[in-house]
C-alpha cells in the first residue's frame, strides 16, 4: 500500500503495538491520538498527529495532510466498570467519535476500516468456546458501544460501500518482546499488569474480584491473547480486506482459558516473587467464562497465535515492566 495507514489511538496499548508491527513490515503509518489515555513515547514509529475524534476539524486536517488509504481504530474507552458508572462518556467517545471518523473517511474517499471490537459484545456466553455467530447481547455500556458501531458499519457498507473488518478481542496481554513498549493504563484495571505491579512492590496486594463463580476454582476464566499476535491479525485482516473486498468479523483469542488464580500462580512462577492476594466481591458486568473460538481467523486470514503459553505472555510483560519502572 503506497498510502498511509491511519492508526487512530496509536499511542495506546494495542494501537502502539500494531503501529510498530506495521512499521516493521514496511507500511507507512500516521498515529492520530489526543494522548488522553495514550503516551507520546509509545508512538515511536511513523508520523504523529495530535488530535481528538470529537473535533472534526482536527480529523480533517490530518486527512488533508496525509494521503490515507486505510484506517485502524483503537481509540475507544474500554473499562467495563467505568462505562457502567459514566455511560455518557462512553457513548460520546466510542460512538460519536467513531461516527465523526467515518464521516471524514467518506469525505476523503477512504474505503478500508479495521475496527477494534470486543468479546464484550457477546454478553453472557451460551456456549464455550464462543464462535462469531454467537448472539450478541452485551451486558454493559462498553460492550453496547462496540456493538452499535458493528451495526453502523453494516449500514455504511450497504449505503456507501465501506469495507470493514471487526476484530473481536478477548483479553489482550503481554508486551513488545523487544521491551520498547508495553501495557500502561491510568488507571490500570487489567489483571496481569496489576499482578506485576504487586511483584514490583508498586502495589501492596492483588485483589480477586469474586470467588464464587461456577468455574473450577471459583474465579473468572479468561482467554489471554498476546498483543503482538493481535498486531499480526490486524495486518492480515487489512490484507484480506484489500484483496478480497469482503467485510467480515473475526474473534481473536488463544482458544483456551485461565482462571484468575491460575494467572496469579503463573506470575509468581515467572517473577519468582510471592504476592499478597486478597479476595473481594464480584464486580458488576463480569461474565464467569470467556473463551474464544478463533478458528475462523485461522482458516480465512491464515492467522495463528505465536504466544500460546500464559507463562510466555507474562514473561514479555514482566520484561517490559522491569525495564520501564526501573527508569522511574
Calpha distance 46→23 (Å, rounded):
7
178: number of Cβ within 10 Å: 12
The 10 Å Cβ neighbour count of residue 323 is 13
Residue at grid coordinates 474505503? 111
Is 91 catalytic? The answer is no
247: left (phi over 0), alpha (psi -120 to 50) or beta: beta
What is the maximal distance between C-alpha atoms in the chain? Answer: 57
Give the pLDDT of residue 326. 76
Can you read off the three cell numbers belonging to residue 10? 496509536
Asked if 162 and 105 touch (Cβ cutoff 8 Å), the reply is: yes
Supply the pLDDT for residue 77.
95
Contact of 166 with 249, CB cutoff 8 Å:
yes
CA atoms in the 13 A half-sphere facing the CB of 282: 12
Residue-by-residue pLDDT tens, the chain, 328 positions: 559 999 999 999 999 999 999 999 999 999 999 999 999 999 999 999 999 999 999 999 999 999 999 999 999 999 888 999 999 999 999 999 999 999 999 999 999 999 999 999 999 999 999 999 999 999 999 999 999 999 999 999 999 999 999 999 999 999 999 999 999 988 888 999 999 999 999 999 999 999 999 999 999 999 999 999 999 999 999 999 999 999 999 999 999 999 999 999 999 999 999 999 999 999 877 889 999 999 999 999 999 999 999 999 999 999 999 998 876 4
Instruction: For Cα atoms 294, 297, 303, give the angle at the middle one, nearest 5 degrees.
Output: 105
Which residues fall within 8 angstroms of residue 75, CB to CB, at 6 or more apart?
8, 9, 12, 15, 32, 33, 34, 53, 93, 97
List 4, 66, 112, 142, catalytic entry: 142
CA distance 287 to 290: 7
- Residue 72 dihedral angles phi and psi, to the nearest 5°: -115, 130
Domains of the chain by start residue, with CATH: 4-173+224-252 (3.40.50.720), 191-222+255-326 (3.90.25.10)
User: In the prediction, which pLDDT does 283 show?
Assistant: 85
Bond from prior residue into 133 cis (ω within 30 degrees of 0): no
Note the pTM of the prediction, 2 decimals: 0.96
**What would the DSSP string read from start to end of 47-89?**
EEEE--TT-HHHHHHHHHHS-EEEEEE------HHHHHH-HHH
Cα distances (Å, whole numbers) of residue 220 to 127, 208, 214, 223, 256: 16, 9, 8, 10, 13
pLDDT, residue 1, reads 56
Alpha-carbon span 168 to 191, nearest angstrom: 19
Amino acid at each position: 500500500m503506497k498510502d498511509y495507514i491511519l492508526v487512530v489511538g496509536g499511542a495506546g496499548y494495542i494501537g502502539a503495538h500494531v503501529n510498530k508491527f506495521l512499521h516493521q513490515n514496511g507500511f507507512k503509518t500516521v498515529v492520530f491520538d489526543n494522548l488522553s489515555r495514550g503516551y507520546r513515547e509509545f508512538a515511536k514509529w511513523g508520523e504523529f498527529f495530535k488530535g481528538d475524534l470529537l473535533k472534526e476539524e482536527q480529523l480533517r486536517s490530518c486527512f488533508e495532510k496525509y494521503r490515507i488509504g486505510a484506517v485502524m481504530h483503537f481509540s475507544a474507552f474500554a473499562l467495563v466498570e467505568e462505562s457502567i458508572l459514566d455511560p455518557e462518556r462512553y457513548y460520546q467517545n466510542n460512538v460519536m467519535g467513531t461516527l465523526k471518523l467515518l464521516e471524514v473517511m467518506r469525505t476523503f474517499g477512504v474505503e478500508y476500516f479495521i475496527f477494534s471490537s470486543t468479546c464484550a459484545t457477546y454478553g453472557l456466553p451460551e456456549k464455550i468456546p464462543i464462535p462469531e455467530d454467537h448472539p450478541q447481547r452485551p451486558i454493559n455500556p462498553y460492550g453496547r458501544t462496540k456493538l452499535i458501531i458493528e451495526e453502523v458499519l453494516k449500514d455504511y457498507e450497504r449505503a456507501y460501500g465501506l469495507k470493514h473488518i471487526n476484530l473481536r478481542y478477548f483479553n489482550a496481554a503481554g508486551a513488545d518482546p523487544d521491551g520498547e513498549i508495553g501495557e500502561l493504563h491510568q488507571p490500570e484495571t487489567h489483571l496481569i499488569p496489576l499482578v506485576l505491579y504487586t511483584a514490583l512492590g508498586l502495589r501492596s496486594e492483588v485483589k480477586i474480584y469474586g470467588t464464587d463463580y461456577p468455574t473450577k476454582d471459583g474465579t473468572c476464566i479468561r482467554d489471554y491473547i498476546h498483543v503482538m499476535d493481535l498486531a499480526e491479525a490486524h495486518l492480515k485482516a487489512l490484507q484480506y480486506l484489500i484483496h478480497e473486498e469482503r467485510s467480515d468479523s473475526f474473534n481473536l483469542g488463544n482458544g483456551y482459558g485461565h482462571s484468575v488464580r491460575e494467572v496469579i500462580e503463573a506470575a509468581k512462577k515467572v517473577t519468582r516473587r510471592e504476592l499478597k492476594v486478597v479476595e473481594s466481591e464480584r464486580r458488576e458486568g463480569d461474565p464467569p467464562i470467556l473463551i474464544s473460538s478463533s478458528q475462523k481467523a485461522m482458516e480465512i486470514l491464515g492467522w495463528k497465535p505465536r504466544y500460546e503459553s500464559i507463562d510466555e505472555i507474562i514473561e514479555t510483560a514482566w520484561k517490559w515492566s522491569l525495564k520501564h519502572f526501573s527508569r522511574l
